[in-house]
Amino acid sequence: MAQSMLLSTGIHYENLPQRYVRPMSERPRLSEVVSEDVPIIDLGCHDKEKVVRQIGDACKSYGFFQVTNHGVSMESMQKTMEVGREFFHLPVEEKMRFYSEDPLKKIRLSTSSNVAKDTVGNWRDYLRLHCHPLEEFVHDWPSNPSSFKDVVSAYCKEIRQLGFIIMEAISESLGLEKNYIKMVMGEQGHHMAINYYPPCPEPELTYGLPGHTDPNAVTILLLDEQVAGLQVLKDGKWIAIDPCPNTLVVNLGDQIQALSNGRYKSVRHRAIVNSNKERISVASFLCPANDAIISPAKQLITDESPAMYKNFTYDEYYKKFWTRNLEKEPCLELFKG
């Protein structure tokens, strides 16, 4: 793909440009997508054992769940959506100074998924930020909209806390010590992608994001309340997720699949686009420290379930992930033991 193909330029497309058109066999086949009740877990529930059980069940069968009473304020959620939207509505010249195609940059505006590797474009622009430790990164974040830094910092802090709560519950649900995942992950990284999917002239022919698994440990998604687009794969079928107010979506990434020795799945998910409305999502990626060594937990290795994956550092994994294009076979396949 050529340089700087940002979609959020104010240009209106009557037809889908050729570089976004998927071959027939890779199209989303939207008529085959199903609706299904997906797990919604009330984290405010006083019966903590029940919460752990529900999370365990969801992680096993879906690799995905939604949470309510999660401790992230509604105000933070709404404002983060708003500043994200305002950012993408800025004039293109204003945004372009953040533009980069280098996936290892700590702040960048980009498009598609991995401009250097994608053979077909994805109908998405995104702003990707490193968020931890905040003091190290926040001064490079956009100062237009003027509240961006404050709003997004506050949101990041709340999300990070929620991430720890979820990791504790996941550890316990695997029969591991409560702090197990937190210990293995070390000083956790935290990245964010504010995804912007403009209206698309031919949504049947392309994706916002094609089916993929996330390379990190746990992803927490804030979805646009007005416009659906997230779909998850379960038992060979794509399920459409209806956004619910005040609810966050949690999906497991590759590191939890590795650490759980395959008991929990890194769920395959995708974003589809639509012809009349823009859609925003904010993905918070909690990741192991770069030097963290990831391996299947000893307690989960038995005669019946030998170690499925090799030991690797997150740094190795993450670099490998970005040398590939998104819809290839899951990156974790390359780390099988």
Interface residues toward ligand OGA, by CB under 6 A: 193, 195, 209, 214, 221, 229-230, 269, 271, 281, 283
Which residues inside 198-227 make contact with Ni ion, applying CB under 5 A?
214
CA atoms within 13 A on the CB side of 123: 30
Cβ-Cβ contacts under 8 Å for 188 (sequence gap 6 or more): 132, 160, 163, 182, 217, 286, 287, 288, 289
Task: Work out how close the CB of 209 gets to ligand OGA at its nearest, in angstroms, rounded to a whole number.
Answer: 5
84 binds, among ligand OGA, Ni ion, none (CB under 5 to 8 A by kind): none
Residue with tokens 């079928």: 237
Q: Measured at CB, which residue is nearest to ligand OGA?
A: 281
E strand map for 253-334: 269-271, 279-287, 293-294, 312-313
| 195 contact choice in ligand OGA, Ni ion, none (CB below 5 to 8 Å, kind-dependent) | ligand OGA
Q: Which does 41 bind (CB under 5 to 8 A by kind): ligand OGA, Ni ion, none?
A: none
The torsion of the CA quartet 118, 277, 37, 246, rounded to 10 degrees, works out to 100
Q: Is 327 among the residues that bind Ni ion (CB under 5 A)? A: no
State in angstroms the smallest separation of the CB of 283 from Ni ion. 6
Partner interacting with residue 271 (select from ligand OGA, Ni ion, none; CB below 5-8 Å by kind): ligand OGA
In the complex with ligand OGA, the residue whose CB is nearer, 55 or 127, is 127
User: Which lies closer to ligand OGA via its Cβ, residue 167 or residue 193?
Assistant: 193
In whole angstroms, how close is the CB of 165 to ligand OGA at the nearest point? 21
**Residue the block writes with tokens 């040398």:** 323
Residue by residue, DSSP assigns 26-64 as GS--GGG-B-----EEETT-S-HHHHHHHHHHHHHHTSE
3-state secondary structure of 191: strand
CB 166 within 8 A of CB 284: no
Closest CB to Ni ion among residues 4, 325: 325
| Residue with smaller CB distance to ligand OGA, 53 or 324 | 324
Q: Which amino acid is at 49?
A: E
Partner in contact with 206, chosen from Ni ion, ligand OGA, none, beta carbon below 5 to 8 Å by kind = none
Return the one option of ligand OGA, Ni ion, none that residue 6 interacts with (CB less than 5 to 8 A, by type).
none
217 CB-contact burial (10 Å; exposed 0-12 / middle 13-18 / buried 19+)? buried
Distance CA 119, CA 64 (A): 29
Q: In the bound complex, what is the minimum distance in angstroms from residue 199's beta carbon to ligand OGA? A: 15
CB count in 10 Å sphere of residue 35: 9
Q: Which is nearer to Ni ion, 158 or 214 (CB)?
A: 214
| Shortest distance (Å) from residue 229 CB to ligand OGA | 6
Distance, in Å, from the CA atom of 193 to the CA atom of 130, rounded to the nearest integer, reads 9
* Minimum separation from the CB atom of position 54 to Ni ion (A): 22
Give whichever of 41 and 193 is closer to ligand OGA, judged by the CB atom. Answer: 193
**Residues engaged in binding Ni ion (CB under 5 A):** 214
